[in-house]
Amino acid sequence: MNILVVCAHPDDETIGMGGTLKKLSKHHNIKVLFLSEGITARRKSGYVSTPQYDISHDEMKKMEKEIQTRKKHAKSALKLLGINKIRFLDLPNQELDQIPLLKIIKEIEKEIEENKITTIFTHHYNDLNLDHRIAYEATITAARPIPGSKISSIFSFEIPAATDWRKPYEFKPNLYVEITSELKYKIKALAAYHYEIRKSPHPRSKDMTEAVAKRWGSLSGYKAAEVFEIVHSRTSKFETLTF
C-alpha cells in the first residue's frame, strides 16, 4: 500500500497512530504530510487584512528556531517509527481557517497523485481543534472518489485532548489495530516531542497514552490497540482487501 498520513501538526501522527505506523512501515510506503508547523504564531490583530507578525525581530528568530526544533522532533519521532518521507507545508498554526481551503486541497491532491496513494489516515471530523477539522475536510475533498481514483480507504484517528474534548463526542471507532509489540515505540516516539508531553492525568501524558492503548485493547481482545473510524472503504475484489 502507498499510504498518506495528513496531520495538522507535528506530533498528531504519533499520538493518533504511532503504533500502527510502526506496524505498517515494515511493509508499506508511508508519507506524512504536516499542514502546519505547530508553533502558535503571535500576530497583529486584524491579521486577515494586514498579515504581519506583531513581534520583534528577535522574537521572530526565536519562533523560527522553535519551528525548526519541532521539525527535528518530528523527524526523530518518525525515524523511530520507520518513516523518512515527510513534508511540511508550513502553514500557520491554529490559523488554517485563514488559508483558502482549496490551496490545502490542491497540496493533498498533489501528494496523492505523485505518490500513487491508495490509503489515507487523517483527523476526525468532530474534533475540538479547528486545524484538525480543516485537515479532515481538505483530505476527504482531495480524496473524493472520482472515476479513476486509486484511493481505497480513508481512516480517521483520535487525538486525546482534542477529539475527545469535543462535545458531543462523536468518534466511533470500528477498526482496532493491535499494537502490543509497537506500544513501546509509540511511547519512545512521543518522548521525541518532549515539549508536547504533559503530566498525568492529562490525556497527552505517557501514562494516559498507555492507558488508552490498553483500554482499546480491552475492547478488542488485545493487550494494546489503536483505533480508527473507517470514513470510506471500497474494493473491486474482496480478496485484495489488505487492511
In whole angstroms, the minimum distance from the beta carbon of 8 to Zn ion comes to 5
Cα-to-chain-centroid distance, residue 147 = 27
DSSP string of the chain, one letter each residue: -EEEEEESSTTHHHHHHHHHHHHHTTTSEEEEEEEE--S---B-TTTTTS--B-S-HHHHHHHHHHHHHHHHHHHHHHHHTT--EEEEEEEPTT-GGGS-HHHHHHHHHHHHHHTT--EEEE--SS-SSHHHHHHHHHHHHHT---TT----EEEE---TTTTTTSSS------EEEE-TTTHHHHHHHHHHTGGG---TTSTTSHHHHHHHHHHHHHTTTSSSEEEEEEEEE--S-GGG---
Q: Specify the residue, 118 or 155, whose C-beta has the smaller distance to Zn ion.
A: 155
Q: Specify the residue, 6 or 183, whose C-beta has the smaller distance to Zn ion.
A: 6
Residue nearest to Zn ion (CB): 9
Q: Specify the residue, 39 or 213, whose C-beta has the smaller distance to Zn ion.
A: 39
Contacts of 176 (CB under 8 A, 6+ apart): 216, 219, 220, 222, 225, 226, 227
In whole angstroms, the minimum distance from the beta carbon of 72 to Zn ion comes to 18
Q: Specify the residue, 196 or 210, whose C-beta has the smaller distance to Zn ion.
A: 196
In whole angstroms, the minimum distance from the beta carbon of 221 to Zn ion comes to 30
Q: Specify the residue, 12 or 158, whose C-beta has the smaller distance to Zn ion.
A: 12
In whole angstroms, the minimum distance from the beta carbon of 102 to Zn ion comes to 22
In whole angstroms, the minimum distance from the beta carbon of 38 to Zn ion comes to 7
Q: Specify the residue, 7 or 143, whose C-beta has the smaller distance to Zn ion.
A: 7
In whole angstroms, the minimum distance from the beta carbon of 93 to Zn ion comes to 9
Positions that interact with Zn ion (CB under 5 A): 8-9, 12
